[in-house]
């Protein structure tokens, strides 16, 4: 068994351990996002020192550049990026549908419709690269093979992530395709990994879609559980549900997903979101927020058990000689770098400013997960 649920706390938090080919991970955990094989501005050794147990990379981006063939030739993604701990890759499905809505770099100024850039069939999805407009075709089997060639620890199958504005009929079609592709993915994955010893076999998740519709979420979950995946991911909620309507669905997922399998809430979220989601039974998280916000000067500070976001580009911090958070033990705060100095660096477009803010935010997220596992968030 790859996932072991050690205990379930009174507040709903599940404390466990997940075994992968590149090591064991304590749950719940947060995955820094390294889309193209690099967490922006941070080296692998720095990530390890911050306490990262696993990072997330993206199948779509690595497939387009530099290509999974080159990465495999050079020893796999772990060796390529010099990261010795586990790696999870998402399927690239979301990027196919979202990035393809933008013009490729070489297209004319007139925008094109999504129908001209993405063609979904029962067999898979045809799309144009956002880099150069070249045509590509993803099948469920091809997406699994790309991830196997990358040599990662946790794989995601090709799925359809509908817009938050999609009708129920459109969401139902997406769910049906997701289930059909999940069956093909599981079959292909099982065949390709059948001769691997258990300790070297990567893990494959099923992705539950269904928007905010309870009946579709239940239907998708039931069909995927029948396929007996190694774990289950909850997709489609961090896309554009800004009204926070997703919590009813997250609660449902915590109630109906198998207790003995890890649950991954994809793309979520703020520190307060993660605290709430762990209490609803979620185990795995990823989000671009800590690094993206840092690049725009925004950093998290902790007040008691709540998190506040401040922007160091605000004028009031130009003469602030204090560190970002006096109670923080990240390299930035422990190094004595002041808010005023980081604000100056950011205003001057100095890379060090982005790095110092990024290190701080990542530390806040990773320390949060330690505190959750220690049961320090009991309200």
Can you give the pLDDT of all 379 residues of the chain as single tens digits? Answer: 699 999 999 999 999 999 999 999 999 999 999 999 999 999 999 999 999 999 999 999 999 999 999 999 999 999 999 999 999 999 988 888 776 555 444 443 333 344 456 899 999 999 999 899 999 999 999 999 999 999 999 999 999 988 888 899 999 999 999 999 999 999 999 999 999 999 999 999 999 999 999 999 999 999 999 999 999 999 999 866 444 689 999 999 999 999 999 999 999 999 999 999 999 999 999 999 999 999 999 999 998 888 999 999 999 999 999 999 999 999 999 999 999 999 999 999 999 999 999 999 999 999 999 999 987 665 5
Which residues are paired to 154 by β-bridges? 88, 203
pLDDT at 315: 97
Enclosing H/E stretch for 246: helix 246-256
How much is the pLDDT for 101? 52
pLDDT at 98: 74
Predicted TM-score of the model (pTM): 0.94
Domain annotation covers residue 124: yes
Whole-number pLDDT of residue 113: 40
Residue 123 catalytic? no
Give me the count of residues in the chain.
Answer: 379
SS3 119: strand
The residue range of the domain holding 334 is 297-373
Domain boundary among 287, 306, 335: 287
Residues 325 and 241 in one domain: no
Residue 153 a catalytic site member: no
**Total tally of structural domains belonging to the chain:** 2
> Which of 198, 94, 190, 80 is closest to 144 using CA atoms?
190
Reduced to 3 states (helix: H, G, I; strand: E, B; else coil), residue 233 is strand
φ, ψ (nearest 5 deg) of residue 280: -95, 10
Omega before 269 within 30 of 0, i.e. cis: yes
Q: Do 327 and 208 share a domain, yes or no?
A: no
- List beta partners, residue 128: 135
Q: How far apart are CA 287 and CA 221, in angstroms?
A: 23
Number of H helices, E strands in the chain: 15, 16
Same domain for 62 and 209, yes or no, is yes
**Which of 153, 159, 286, 325 is flagged as catalytic?**
286
Say if residue 185 is in the same domain as residue 146. Answer: yes
Instruction: Note whether 256 and 356 are same-domain residues.
Output: no
- Give dist(CA 105, CA 94) in Å, integer: 19
Residue 99: per-residue pLDDT: 61
Confidence (pLDDT) at 55: 98
Which is catalytic among the residues 90, 149, 159, 273?
Answer: 90
Provide φ and ψ at 216, rounded to 5°: -75, -35
Q: Are residues 141 and 261 in the same domain?
A: yes
Q: 326, 343, 88, 329: which is closest to 230 by C-alpha?
A: 88
Cα–Cα distance for residue pair 186/228, rounded to 1 Å? 9
Residue 9 lies in a domain: yes
Q: Are 56 and 32 in contact (CB under 8 A)?
A: yes
Q: Tell me the CATH number at 234.
A: 3.20.20.105
């Amino acid at each position: 068994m790859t996932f072991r649920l050690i205990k379930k706390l009174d507040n709903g938090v599940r404390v466990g351990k997940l075994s992968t080919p590149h090591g064991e991970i304590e749950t719940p955990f947060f995955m820094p996002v390294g889309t193209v094989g690099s967490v922006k501005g941070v080296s692998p050794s720095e990530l390890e020192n911050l306490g990262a147990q696993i990072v997330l990379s993206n199948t779509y981006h690595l497939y387009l550049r530099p290509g999974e063939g080159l990465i495999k030739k050079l020893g796999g993604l772990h060796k390529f990026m010099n990261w010795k701990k586990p790696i999870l890759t998402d399927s690239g499905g979301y990027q196919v549908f979202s990035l393809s809505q933008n013009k490729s770099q070489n297209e004319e100024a007139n925008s094109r419709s999504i129908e001209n850039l993405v063609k979904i069939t029962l067999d898979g999805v045809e799309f144009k690269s956002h880099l150069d407009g070249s045509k590509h075709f993803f099948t469920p089997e091809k997406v699994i093979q790309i991830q196997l060639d990358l040599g990662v620890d946790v794989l995601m199958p090709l799925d359809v992530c509908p817009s938050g504005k999609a009708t129920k009929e459109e969401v139902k079609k997406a769910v049906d395709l997701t289930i059909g592709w999940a069956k093909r993915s599981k079959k292909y994955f099982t065949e390709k990994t059948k001769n691997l010893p258990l300790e070297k076999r990567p893990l494959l998740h099923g992705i539950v879609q269904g928007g905010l519709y309870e009946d579709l979420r239940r239907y998708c979950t039931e069909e995927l559980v029948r396929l007996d995946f190694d774990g289950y991911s909850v997709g489609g909620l961090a896309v554009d549900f800004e009204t926070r309507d997703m919590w009813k669905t997250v609660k449902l997922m915590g109630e109906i997903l198998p207790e003995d399998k890890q649950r991954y809430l994809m793309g979520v979220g703020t520190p307060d979101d993660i605290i709430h989601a762990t209490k609803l039974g979620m185990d795995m998280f990823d989000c671009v927020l800590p690094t993206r916000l840092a690049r725009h000067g925004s950093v998290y500070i902790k007040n008691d058990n709540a998190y506040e976001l401040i922007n160091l580009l605000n004028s009031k911090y130009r003469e602030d000689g204090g560190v970002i958070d006096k109670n923080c033990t990240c390299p930035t705060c422990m190094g004595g770098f002041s808010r005023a100095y980081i604000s100056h660096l950011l205003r001057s477009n100095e890379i060090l400013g982005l790095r110092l803010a990024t290190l701080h935010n990542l530390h806040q997220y990773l320390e949060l997960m330690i505190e959750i596992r220690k049961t320090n968030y009991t309200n």
